[in-house]
Amino acid sequence: MINIERLMSRLEELSKIGKTEDGGVTRFSFTKEEAEANALVARYMEEAGLTVEYDAVGNLIGSREGEEGLPVILLGSHIDTVPNGGKFDGPVGVLSAIEVLQALNEEGVSLRHPVKVISFKDEEGSRFGFGMIGSRAVAGTLAMEDLERTDERGVSILQAMEEAGFPLDAAKLQTAKMDKVKAYLEVHIEQGKVLERNNVGVGNVTGIAGPVWLKMKVVGEAEHAGATPMGQRKDALVAASMIIQEVEKIARMHPPAVATVGKIAVSPNGVNVIPGEVEWTIDIRSTDEKRRDEVERAIVAFAERTAEERDMRLEISELQRVPPVGCDERIQTLIQESIAEIGSETVSLPSGAGHDGMQFKDRIPIGMIFVRSIDGISHNPRELSLAEDIEKGAEVLYRTLLKLDRE
Ligand code: GLV
Ligand code: MN
Ligand code: MN
Ligand code: MN
């Protein structure tokens, strides 16, 4: 059913857009690269016989008709990336969904429900520190105020949208909300080692850990590195480094929570200047929301104490807060049955990484199919999943879609 050569050649072709020197991919939202990638995916959607459109926030949608009055089955993922990311995180899901619908068309299989494939706008949050913009819009939870957030150059999401040809106002934003959705299904690479350890190519996802992203800033005093005695300094980087060390310690004490400082800016960033200001991000996640929030409170308390002891100003802002979400029990059963049908052992696992389906919590039942990641590496140019596993993922999606359609 699945034409894996076609799927893999599309994956390869798509990965050339935004390719970095070491073989990674950088495609941020509302950029030239992203628009070019979307145009290519739109072409694949047309080849699959889908009707293609962009919604108000720039989600790319390919539709297939069904019986009048029945709710839509939504399939999707994203094609934006982290800085110097891999070529599988996101595209595997979008291209598998397109492949499934193309295969159904070629086989002349009709479904009762309308089906839409969606390539969501900005899942990663790389550009604005605010992810899942497209899926928030589809869920109806994106607010106009959210679009005031800015990128590193001070361009707001709203401005970036306008520049990319998607000018938005509150009324238009409402049109991106999807009502009458039966279910959301996504294929994604695992980005961890569980499937590899279990020696299987695909797995069923039980739920998704929820991220909190914070921005912290410590303000000390930028002074001469030679002329200021050690006892008279307010070195913001020393304070920041103490807090960052504690982030790791606290998270280690609260499994299964994880916490990461992945981005830092030192100002003025000179060899002979005592750092006056340091700003960094903290990404805290867990499938257990209480645990995650305990970690957050402990980190904030330590940061406040450290800043006070050193007589420095501390600023904390929240970039995003997404609750963990469980995958729908019934859909999990259908996915497990589909996995068994292709002769694979059924392994179920939670997702540590975030995904667009999280935005549908309490709105749309979701199901996710994971594809094995080699060495568990992701958000890295060395990210890799094998064609034979991607084929299994697409096959499981195909089967799950048919089962869901009959329900
Ligand atoms: C994106 O992949 C995320 O999980 O933050
Ligand atoms: Mn992803
Ligand atoms: Mn990712
Ligand atoms: Mn993600």
Q: What is the pLDDT of residues 131-153, one digit of tens each?
A: 999 999 999 999 999 999 999 99
Span 240-244, mean pLDDT? 98
Q: Are strands 366-371 and 348-351 parallel, antiparallel or unpaired?
A: unpaired
Q: Where in the chain is the domain with CATH 3.30.70.360?
A: 210-321
Give me the CATH topology for the region 4-209+324-406. Answer: Aminopeptidase (3.40.630)
Question: Which two structure tokens, joined as six digits, stand for 91?
Answer: 């595209």
C-beta atoms surrounding 169 within 10 Å: 10
Task: Identify the band that residue 274 occupies on the pLDDT scale cut at 50, 70 and 90.
Answer: very high
pTM for the model stands at: 0.93
Distance between start and end Cα atoms, the chain = 22
- The atom number, within ligand 1, closest to the CA of 355 reads 4
Residue ranges matching CATH 3.40.630.10 in the chain = 4-209+324-406
Contacts of 104 (CB under 8 A, 6+ apart): 111, 398
Asked whether 352 lines ligand 1 (CB < 6 A), one says: no
Q: Span 241-258, mean pLDDT? A: 97
Ligand 4 centre to CA of 253 (Å) is 25
* Beta carbons of 101 and 185 less than 8 angstroms apart: no
Q: Which of 29, 82, 186, 258 to mutate to test the pocket of ligand 1 (most atoms within 8 A of CB)?
A: 82
Give distance in angstroms: CA of 91 to centre of ligand 4: 12
Q: Which CATH number fits domain 210-321: 3.30.70.360, 3.40.50.1220, 3.90.1150.10, 1.10.3210.10?
A: 3.30.70.360
Across the range 175-184, mean pLDDT stands at 98
Instruction: Specify the residue with its C-alpha closest to ligand 1, atom 3.
Output: 354
Query: Is 149 buried (19+), middle (13-18) or exposed (0-12) by CB count in 10 A?
Result: middle
Band the pLDDT of 276: cuts 50, 70, 90: very high
User: What tokens does 210 get?
Assistant: 């929820």
